[in-house]
């Protein structure tokens, strides 16, 4: 089973993406989707060694939470752009210490930070232990770092195990 | 016109106006924010909620008015969500590099230049992979 499906999550995602792209729910498209979904992970597995195990239920909840946060933060940043004069703006660089270790988990964490408006991840330290983030308005950088760590990193630590 | 049809039109119109407003606010942020790093926050808005609302409007229109499901729009937002952080990251890295080398085309913003995370280590833009860092290709 693991030899035929080295990466069941990627297979499911590829089948779903194929169906969405073809936009047609028939046996023929599902069959072709399955061929892609089983074939691609099978042939690319050798180039993806040591990947972490992903727990899907918390991952789905995480995607939902991030989508909600994006909507809320959009309104906050829109308010900043429209009503806050530049002299009251407090942009700051945040150095976030990372507990995540796998490249996959750190990539998802950095992507989440960039997608939630108000913060953009700019760089990672060469040793991989710190993430450099630019915040549009952070009067209290330490509180912002604590918020991001508690809300996103703590959940990602439970997803990528 | 039937009640259902006009309700669908109201919903789709509201979503398009919402999306357009966010795209406009994002562009306005690009004009008025003080420096490159702050301006980078403007377009992020346009791609997330601005475009998201328009794509939901498109799905709602084809479902409620034409009575057919379209799913291509979801794929557009997925690809945007995957690619937007990467382009923002690359712009930020180039900016950091040029700031360090005094070649910045843009002035330093109000946040200044970022300090190294702690003594002896630096950000990946300034420190090439070497023995002991991830990506040194020794233990991988």
Residue A153, domain CATH: 3.30.70
Contacts of B88 in chain A (CB under 8 A): 114, 120-121
Maximum Cα interatomic distance, chain A, rounded to a whole number of Å: 61
The answer on A43 and A60 residing in a single domain is no
Are the beta carbons of A124 and B123 separated by less than 8 Å?
A: yes
The answer on A35 and A71 residing in a single domain is no
The residue of chain A nearest to residue B131, with distances taken between CA atoms, is A127
The confidence score (pLDDT) of residue B18 equals: 92
User: Among A63-72, B86-95, B109-118, whose mean pLDDT is lowest?
Assistant: B109-118
Are the beta carbons of A125 and B124 separated by less than 8 Å?
A: yes
In a domain, A61, yes or no: yes
What's the domain count of chain A? 2
The answer on A64 and A23 residing in a single domain is no
- Whole domain around residue A14: which residue ranges? 8-47
Are the beta carbons of A95 and B45 separated by less than 8 Å?
A: no
In a domain, A3, yes or no: no
Confidence of residue A62 (pLDDT cuts 50, 70, 90): very high
In a domain, A1, yes or no: no
How do A130-135 and A92-97 pair as beta strands? antiparallel
Q: Does B42 touch chain A (CB under 8 A)?
A: yes
Digit-coded pLDDT (tens) for A94-126: 999 999 888 888 999 999 998 887 888 988 888
Neighbours of B19 (CB within 10 A): 21
Distance (Å) of CA A21 to CA A25, A35, A67, B34: 11, 15, 22, 41
What predicted TM-score, i.e. pTM, was given to this entire model?
Answer: 0.85
Contacts of A117 in chain B (CB under 8 A): 41, 44-45, 48
* Model confidence at B15: pLDDT above 80: yes
The answer on A43 and A62 residing in a single domain is no
The answer on A124 and A63 residing in a single domain is yes
The confidence score (pLDDT) of residue B4 equals: 54
The confidence score (pLDDT) of residue B135 equals: 65
Q: What is the mean pLDDT of chain A?
A: 87
Digit-coded pLDDT (tens) for B29-80: 888 888 888 888 877 766 678 888 888 898 888 888 887 778 888 888 888 8
In a domain, A98, yes or no: yes
Digit-coded pLDDT (tens) for A2-51: 677 777 788 888 888 888 888 777 888 889 989 988 888 888 887 877 77
Q: Does B56 touch chain A (CB under 8 A)?
A: no
Are the beta carbons of A95 and B134 separated by less than 8 Å?
A: no
The answer on A144 and A72 residing in a single domain is yes
Q: Who among A74, A115, A125 is closest to B84 (CB)?
A: A115
Q: Does B48 touch chain A (CB under 8 A)?
A: yes
In a domain, A2, yes or no: no
The confidence score (pLDDT) of residue B140 equals: 47
The confidence score (pLDDT) of residue A1 equals: 56
Which residues are A119's β-sheet partners? A135
The residue of chain B nearest to residue A121, with distances taken between CA atoms, is B89
The answer on A67 and A42 residing in a single domain is no
Phi and psi, residue B100, nearest 5°: -65, -35
User: Among A60-69, A104-113, B76-85, whose mean pLDDT is lowest?
Assistant: B76-85
Q: What is the mean pLDDT of residues B102-127?
A: 79
The answer on A113 and A74 residing in a single domain is yes
């Amino acid at each position: 089973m693991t030899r035929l499906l080295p990466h069941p999550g990627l297979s499911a995602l590829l089948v779903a993406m194929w169906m969405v792209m073809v936009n047609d729910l028939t046996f023929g498209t599902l069959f072709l989707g399955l061929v892609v979904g089983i074939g691609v992970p099978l042939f690319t597995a050798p180039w993806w060694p040591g990947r972490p195990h992903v727990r899907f239920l918390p991952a789905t909840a995480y995607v939902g939470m991030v989508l909600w946060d994006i909507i809320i933060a959009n309104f906050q940043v829109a308010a900043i752009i429209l009503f806050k004069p530049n002299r009251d703006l407090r942009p700051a660089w945040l150095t976030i210490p990372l507990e995540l270790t796998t490249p996959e988990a750190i990539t998802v964490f950095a992507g989440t930070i960039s997608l939630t408006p108000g913060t953009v991840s700019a760089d990672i330290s060469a040793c991989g232990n710190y993430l450099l983030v630019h915040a549009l308005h952070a009067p209290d950088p330490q509180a912002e770092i604590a918020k991001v760590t508690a809300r996103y990193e703590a959940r990602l630590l439970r997803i990528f195990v | 016109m039937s009640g259902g049809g006009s309700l669908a039109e109201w919903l789709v119109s509201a979503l398009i106006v919402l999306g357009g407003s966010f795209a406009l606010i994002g562009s306005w942020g690009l004009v008025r924010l003080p420096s490159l790093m702050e301006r980078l926050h403007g377009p992020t808005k346009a791609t997330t909620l601005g475009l998201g609302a328009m794509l939901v409007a498109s799905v709602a229109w084809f479902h409620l008015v034409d009575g057919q499901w379209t799913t291509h729009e979801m794929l557009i937002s997925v690809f945007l969500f995957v690619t937007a952080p990467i382009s923002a990251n690359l712009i930020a890295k180039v900016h950091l590099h040029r700031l360090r080398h005094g070649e910045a085309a843009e002035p330093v913003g109000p946040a200044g230049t970022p300090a190294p995370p702690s003594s002896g280590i630096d950000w990946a833009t300034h420190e090439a992979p070497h023995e002991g860092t991830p990506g040194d290709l020794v233990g991988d």
